[in-house]
Amino acid sequence: MDSFEINKIIAAVLLTALIIIGIGKFTDILFHVEKPKESAYKIEGLEVAATNASTDSTEAKVVEAVDIQKTFPDAKFVDLIDEE
């Protein structure tokens, strides 16, 4: 295999990579998707409660207030704790 054949193989691989990248950029321009202002989902039933454990931390603790039986009305739940 002489150097001319190796150059053709390397050029073909690089050209293929550039064509794939070019098609990706072209489709990004063609099908422009507007990004949302916030990258998060709003979930109903969540409350934010401030933690008083440490005065240095300004993080918030998320407390879920969701009733599982209402969320999954068709599910059958088994009580794992014996109620007396």
Q: What is the pTM of this model?
A: 0.41
Which residue range is the domain that position 19 belongs to? 3-71
68 touches 78 (CB < 8 A): no
- In a domain, residue 36? The reply is yes
The answer to whether residue 66 sits within a structural domain is yes
Residue 41 forms part of a structural domain: yes
Residue 52, pLDDT above cutoff 60: no
CA separation for the pair 50, 63 (Å, rounded): 10
E-assigned strands of 21-67?
A: 46-50, 60-64
Q: Assess if residue 84 is contained within a domain.
A: no
79 within a domain of the structure (yes/no): no
Retrieve residue 66's tokens: 């969701």
In a domain, 15, yes or no: yes
Name the domain count of the chain: 1
The pLDDT confidence band at residue 23, using thresholds 50, 70 and 90, is very high
Residue 18 covered by a domain: yes
Domain for residue 77, yes or no? no
Is residue 5 helix, strand or coil?
helix
